[in-house]
Amino acid sequence: MLKIGARHSRDDLDSALAAARRAFLYSLEEADADIQAGQAVFDALEAAVAISQYRA
């Protein structure tokens, strides 16, 4: 994540994460899975992106 953050802008990463979140949460919803668990995954990814941008 740190390498990706160093090469791409925060806006690019935010857009990519938003699209991935929508697709992933939709998949969980369709599979009748736990949405809270899926949300936790993306919360962790967003934290990693924020850290990588701070370090870059």
| Beta carbons of 35 and 25 less than 8 angstroms apart | yes
- Total domains, the chain: 1
CA distance 15 to 19: 6
Look at residue 7 in the predicted model and tell me its pLDDT: 77
Look at residue 55 in the predicted model and tell me its pLDDT: 62
Write out the residue range of the structural domain in which residue 32 sits.
2-55
Look at residue 50 in the predicted model and tell me its pLDDT: 78
Q: What is the pLDDT along the chain (56 residues), one digit of tens a residue?
A: 556 666 777 788 778 778 877 888 788 777 776 767 777 877 887 787 777 767 65
* Helix/strand/coil for 8: coil
Structure tokens at 42: 């993306």
Look at residue 16 in the predicted model and tell me its pLDDT: 79
